[in-house]
Structure 1
Amino acid sequence: MRSLPVFVAAFVAGCSSGSESAPAADLILHHGHVYTLTWPEPSTEGLPSDKAPYDSLTGWHYDATAVVVRDGRIVYVGADSGALARRGPETRVIDLAGHVMLPGLVDAHTHVAELGQSLERVNLTGVATEAEAVERIVQRAAETPKGEWILGYGWDEGAWANRYPDKRLLSARVPDHPVILRSLHGFAAWANQRALTLAGITRETASPAGGEIRTDARGEPTGLVLNRAVPLLDDAVPIPAAAQRDAQLLRALHVMAAAGYTGVHEAGVAPDVMDSFERLAERDSLPLRVYAMLSARDSALIRRWIVRGPFTSANGMLTVRAVKAYFDGALGSRGAQLLADYADRPGHRGVSGGAYGFDQRLVADAMSVGFQVGIHAIGDAGNRATLDFIDSVTAASPKARGLRHRVEHAQIISVADIARFATLGVIASVQPPHAVEDKGWAQTRVGADRMAGAYAWRTLRRAGAALVFSSDLPGSDWSPFYGLHSAITREDTSGAPSGGWYPAQRMTPEEAVRGYTVWSAHAAFDEHDAGTIAVGKRADLTVLNIDPFRAQGPALLRGEVVTTLSRGRVTYQR
């Protein structure tokens, strides 16, 4: 086994206590390559701290080989000999066989409720044409009783924006089932005639504020709805029964555990999903920690929680102290609010604010009683208005300050506004996969001039802004290897473009890993219990078969999760 550097010996001495009198461990993990991330942050240029286990000649080195767990907490970090000295007759010992251990990974912007549903739906991710999508629905219809709903997801509203589908082929091929097909990021939906009828959408139905019901030359709905019109279709689908919702969530959370995650920040939790999370937490059935962000689109839900206040379950697996709101739409469907016209649609600047369902008074009231807010903002006008809103509320309400408010996505930002993230203490909650997925059309939407503040992670870091990384699943692949690869290379899975899309905005391997560990803990006020591997913290740990600090390019995409542990409990093992 590789010997540890001298600085690690000092780390071990500082983080462990004498083993002779220590009680026996519940779990010992040894013979690993452990990156604790307990050293100081890198510079805003990504340069490692001089206290990091890094040198310019040989690169990164792990800084421990073993971890000991008792009662769900880490009680020792260091060398194998010190860990194995704590072995007792009931201790479980796991030989990591040289695999890499990181602090438990956290996906800081998810929709696991949708993931749970999508696992039962027709997957249209990567489908290139309307005909191919319809054929998949025909296949599902052949095995589905007539009259039952068929739901699908994943067609790309950005890539398809200039050739959106309609109801004709779908209705002709699948007439006996109501069908709704959600787009990749949920800002468009496509339905057949039977679903339109059940949803009550006719030629007389007016498009809601901030939304669009597409119509043909005769004024008839085409079956395609955009932005705030999507709920008109969603609301027609029966809400799952409590037991079904619980099962969907558990299935999705176990999928996340298998992907190496020990926590999620669930963005936009609806009332029935919130009830399910509380039931599962009460039964101690949650396999990983859920940081729930309540949906501000449900005013009754938010008003109830304003009275109730922030909450953490007795077992610590469910926390409710954040609210998710939407200021504008998506860039792909041209709903993101821009300061100037869309480059590919003169005269159009997107939708936002009250027209997009953003209730300023409701969100401000939640902030004023101590709730963090995460506001979806994608366009440069949307980001500016969101920063203005957070600034105004925190200036007026002392309780709203210091709550680490977040801008979810922060995709297109005016260069003049970037420094405001740091000044206001607002976290840029970004999704590395979005950059490599949007690169084919993003510049077409906004023009070359605005790309200086687009997907601008390094520019935000240089300005002193806090970042956190996530997938926005199920719209994007939630594999941590895909997320890390996107952040580090800004290349897609085929390696294009070589050297990365706007490569000056790339993250270093350390920054990418921190985006899913240390920075996610900070974004959820969890840094005292998670984010690093240190004595006293929860034993939330992720074991990989590759080293993300050293793996390069395609090798990173080939990585696999070996073991996931939450509170010292194995929630996944390969």
Structure 2
Amino acid sequence: MNAMRLLGTATSFFLMAALSCTSPEAGTGFADLILTNGRVYTLDWGEPGPQGDPAPDAPFDAETGWRPDAEAVAVRGGEIVFVGSAAGSESLRGPETKVMDLAGATVIPGLIESHVHLVQLGEFLSQIDLVDIETEEEAVRLAQEMAAGTPPGTWVLGSGWDEGAWADRYPTMELLSEAVPDHPVYLRGLHGFAGWGNRMAFEIAGITPETRDPSGGQLIRDEQGRPSGVLLNRAILLLEEHIPTPSVEQTMGHVLAGLEVMAESGYTSIHEAGSNRRYQEAFERLEEEGRLPLRVYSMLAARDPELCEEWIPKGPDTDTESMLRTMSVKAFYDAALGSRGARMIDDYSDMPGHRGTSGADYGFDQELVARMIKAGFQAEVHAIGDAGNRETLDFFERVLSEFPDGAAQRHKIVHAQVVHPDDFQRFRDLGIAASMQPPHVAEDMDWAEARVGQERIKGAYAWRTMRETGVRLLLNSDLPGSDWDIFYGLHSAITRRDKDRQPTDGWYQEQAFTPEEAVRGYTAWGAWAEFLEEETGIIREGMRGDLTVLRIDPFVVGTNSPGNLFGGEILATVVGGKVVFEKN
């Protein structure tokens, strides 16, 4: 089940950070919070080797496997003050200390979702959920049902149909228009690279047979050259620009709704990948009002150049004590592999003569992103195709040759989905991290090889090759385009199988992560990406009290029976020593 559908069914409560934990009187020396009788994995040992072998000081034995390295954690004033045995934590128990007896549950450093579209998640929670919908008819039925309870003329919105899986059978506006004639309907693709509308929506947007394909986009047309109902890549803006924009106040509500889901899902920090002015204002107001329950790392949207221009003279926000930090810029270099928009060096295997779109044609403003880097900002650039990745590496190489100090800013290529064999080493040489999504393997494997062929697929979703080459990695979901459930993410990373546990031997299993690497990818490696590896990402005295409590042990289960990871459950989420989620 998609995590979006879990909202409203979980037996849980969500506590705003300011109300969730009562501190004892100052100077008592007692802890605010003690987690005890648990299986604590601190990650406070050496990094695994390039093949995933645990470090010599890891709590691992070749014969018996993984074991936790602590039983209890205590937090005071937002900081971890004790890590050790359950008995040892008792001296910190005071009359007002909140004590959570974990009864053998597992504690890991707080999960970090290092590439999300949180505002979209908040918006989608009130829209039609088309994730896992397999047919046009079923999607139309859901749109018709929502329209039935909505005044005529009101937009009916939805998201989640898989533009990759449907690429060879795109729907049209005909059935949708017949079923919903009196409401404009817009249904966004799962990964945001396609949109499907009915006739009224196209009429409102003024999209006609005379409308030209925009730069970096395509209108799917019928045999007579008329728009058929689906827009690809940058063409979706032709329609989306006519959908009423939520107010900042509404956006604040979307942010809080999204953060509630994230807290229930065990995440203590999220990285918003592309904040425009409205998103940024919502984050800033919530931070000023003390209403952000999780840490937010905001990447400014390069597609909002006026906002970026305002930040260039100010430089990045380096206040590590703030719940909101703005230190990065997010840009797009190419589009998606599923919709054949990712830029390839050679033709698509299943579409001769076509190589996708990229660069200026896809709205990549090289000059603006370069100036953001020179102003001290980290840059994250979306690149999926092998040409897209190569040309993005070329861009970084040019900018860093002009501004060598920028190499310390931990720049990233997000997705890095298909990489030419000659370019893996360039990631390492340039110090560019790869921000990758394990769920994409589970979701793309049915069609990815058809897009790129047997040879190029060897450099696709190539996590182990990245590790062996010495490239820094961080793992995330790219929600809401993919399910953000951490147990799904870990399962995908460790097994390279889908939710049905297929294929049995894993899809190019030689590229899989070990359980330790997978956990680090969602914790310590994410902390590095937000420049906080000295403050969070591991459990150690003096570090932030950001913790996630799991019902199962991902190290043991991930090693011995990874299919059982789907039986996992988040029991509690702790941010700065405050319990922001606890399952009843």
Asked if Structure 1 and Structure 2 have the same fold, meaning a TM-score greater than 0.5 normalized by the shorter chain, the answer is: yes
Say whether residues 1:250 and 2:256 are aligned partners. Answer: yes
| Percent identity of equivalent pairs | 53
Say whether residues 1:129 and 2:138 are aligned partners. Answer: no
Say whether residues 1:445 and 2:456 are aligned partners. Answer: no
Unaligned segments of structure 2, at least 5 residues:
1-26
Q: Secondary structure at the match of 1:329?
A: coil
**Aligned counterpart for 1:286 among listed residues 267, 285, 292:** 292
Please give the residue correspondences for 1:369-448 in structure 2 after superposition, counting only pairs within 5 Å: 369-448=375-454
Map of 2:9 onto structure 1: none
Map of 2:474 onto structure 1: 468
TM-score relative to the length of structure 2:
0.93
**Aligned counterpart for 2:39 among listed residues 30, 33, 54:** 33
Asked if 2 retains the 8 angstrom alpha-carbon contact of 1:324 and 1:375, the reply is: yes
Asked if 1 retains the 8 angstrom alpha-carbon contact of 2:334 and 2:357, the reply is: yes
**Aligned counterpart for 1:236 among listed residues 233, 242, 248:** 242
**Aligned counterpart for 1:160 among listed residues 153, 159, 166:** 166
Counterparts of 1:218 and 1:442, CA distance in 2: 31
Map of 1:568 onto structure 2: 577
- Letter of the 2:140 counterpart: V
TM-score relative to the length of structure 1:
0.95
Asked if 1 retains the 8 angstrom alpha-carbon contact of 2:474 and 2:525, the reply is: yes
Map of 1:263 onto structure 2: 269
Counterparts of 2:153 and 2:486, CA distance in 1: 39
Please give the residue correspondences for 1:464-503 in structure 2 after superposition, counting only pairs within 5 Å: 464-503=470-509
Q: Which has the higher contact order (CA 8 A, sep 6+)?
A: 2
Counterparts of 1:470 and 1:115, CA distance in 2: 15
Task: Return the offset for 1:404.
Answer: 0.8
1:15-69 CA deviation, whole Å, 9 max, x = no partner?
xxxxxx9811111111111000010000000000010000011100000111111
Asked if 1 retains the 8 angstrom alpha-carbon contact of 2:407 and 2:431, the reply is: no
Map of 1:343 onto structure 2: 349
- Letter of the 1:336 counterpart: A
Q: 1:314 to 1:426 in 2, by over 3 A?
A: closer
Q: Secondary structure at the match of 1:401?
A: helix
Map of 1:9 onto structure 2: none
Instruction: Give the aligned CA root-mean-square deviation in angstroms.
Output: 1.2
Counterparts of 1:172 and 1:155, CA distance in 2: 19
Map of 2:211 onto structure 1: 205
Map of 2:14 onto structure 1: none
Unaligned segments of structure 1, at least 5 residues:
1-20
Please give the residue correspondences for 1:100-139 in structure 2 after superposition, counting only pairs within 5 Å: 100-139=106-145
Map of 1:70 onto structure 2: 76
1:468-495 CA deviation, whole Å, 9 max, x = no partner?
0000111110000000000000011111
**Aligned counterpart for 1:539 among listed residues 545, 550, 561:** 545
Task: Return the offset for 1:216.
Answer: 2.3
Asked if 2 retains the 8 angstrom alpha-carbon contact of 1:284 and 1:315, the reply is: no
Counterparts of 1:83 and 1:200, CA distance in 2: 67
Task: Return the offset for 1:307.
Answer: 1.9
Map of 1:558 onto structure 2: 567
Q: Secondary structure at the match of 1:402?
A: helix
Q: Secondary structure at the match of 1:267?
A: strand
Task: Return the offset for 1:222.
Answer: 1.5
1:323-348 CA deviation, whole Å, 9 max, x = no partner?
11000010000000001000000000
1:61-103 CA deviation, whole Å, 9 max, x = no partner?
0001111111111111111122110122221111111100000
1:298-337 CA deviation, whole Å, 9 max, x = no partner?
1111111112211156852111111110000100000000
Asked if 2 retains the 8 angstrom alpha-carbon contact of 1:22 and 1:86, the reply is: no
**Aligned counterpart for 1:324 among listed residues 330, 337, 344:** 330
Q: Secondary structure at the match of 2:312?
A: helix
Q: Which is worse superposed, 530-539 or 507-516?
A: 530-539
Asked if 2 retains the 8 angstrom alpha-carbon contact of 1:28 and 1:94, the reply is: yes
- Corresponding pairs, count: 554
Map of 1:61 onto structure 2: 67
Asked if 2 retains the 8 angstrom alpha-carbon contact of 1:157 and 1:187, the reply is: yes
- Letter of the 1:439 counterpart: M
